[in-house]
Amino acid sequence: MGRRSFIFTVTRVDGNRVTGVAYLRGFMPYHFQDLPFTGVLSGSQLTGSMPTGPGAPPIHWDLTLSPDRRSLGGKGYRDVWSNIELTR
């Protein structure tokens, strides 16, 4: 995905299930809109996915929460793997 902005908002945590919305800035048709996501938190690992549009592949990610709990980092995949760094 290159260097673009990704705003990630958690709206609910229920046990280890995490839901929320993500907003991406970029050049793809699914950018510049709130996209719902679902994920599972296991220890410091957050894995999840979000749709990118009807008939299009979803984005999947595998992120690790930093020890100070202020950032998430890891990889995301849609058509190619991309690095993801999210800071609180």
Asked if 38 and 20 count as a contact pair (C-beta separation under 8 A), the reply is no
Q: What is the pTM of this model?
A: 0.79
Q: Place 21 in a pLDDT band, splitting at 50, 70 and 90.
A: very high
pLDDT tens, 25-70? Answer: 777 777 778 889 999 999 999 999 998 888 888 989 999 999 998 9
- Between CA 32 and CA 21 the distance in angstroms is 12
Q: Place 1 in a pLDDT band, splitting at 50, 70 and 90.
A: very low
Asked whether residue 82 carries a pLDDT value surpassing 60, the answer given is yes
What does the pLDDT read at residue 3?
Answer: 56
The label of the residue with tokens 């760094």 reads: 85
The label of the residue with tokens 């050049």 reads: 27
Of the candidates 65, 68, 55, the residue with the CA atom closest to the CA atom of residue 29: 55
**Termini Cα distance of the chain:** 20
Residue 54 identity (one-letter amino acid)? P
Residue 70 identity (one-letter amino acid)? R
